[in-house]
Structure 1
């Protein structure tokens, strides 16, 4: 996180781009220019201590207690309620509107038969032709 903060604190130019190119070392840390003493030595931070394994019970309890205190509580980014809301808005409401506004009638017309198989089958041969009915016969 320190690397991110260091990059954020670099002077920026137009478009929120750094004025100078930021170089990240292979280890993932920034190459920082350290201050030089009067003797010519650079002052650096002391190396980090190695983590303890906690072989003793007293040490184990203190490390777990410290870990619990420093552990951040992560919040869920999304809850199941959000998924239910998305389902309602994008699936249930449009399907209901389609059915209520007569969309099934359009589907039946396009398919030619209804769901139970009733109705006459429509094909390209029967379209546009007039068939005589019993009432049309000449007397």
Structure 2
């Protein structure tokens, strides 16, 4: 599968926007921008936090649509697995998120910025698991090579 060329400007812009969104949520509402926690709270019983949670979650695909509109094209997406593989992968990620008490956005972006030792450990485990998974899939199982 051909990879898109690295674009440092869009990578920097994306990082700045993620940091800005996290800062605004923390500074404005005192909340951590952990997607799994935001989604989990939105799926629970409606309360005073439900509106901002829904707005944040709706903003994720809305940001993609805005980006695609500004660029004038949709990016090509090439899945290396079918729907069964995607469902299994999603379930594993969901399990890991619950096990780690948070996700990469909560721990990796917000937790590291707050110098949280727990988030540092969680992020190291996320990254090591990701590297091991890529190694196993590409070099042991042999798919996607």
- TM band (smaller chain): under 0.3
Structure ID, larger Rg = 1
Scaled by the length of structure 1, what TM-score is found?
0.20
Structure with bigger RCO (C-alpha 8 Å, 6+ apart)? 2
Scaled by the length of structure 2, what TM-score is found?
0.19
Name the one with the larger helix percent: 2
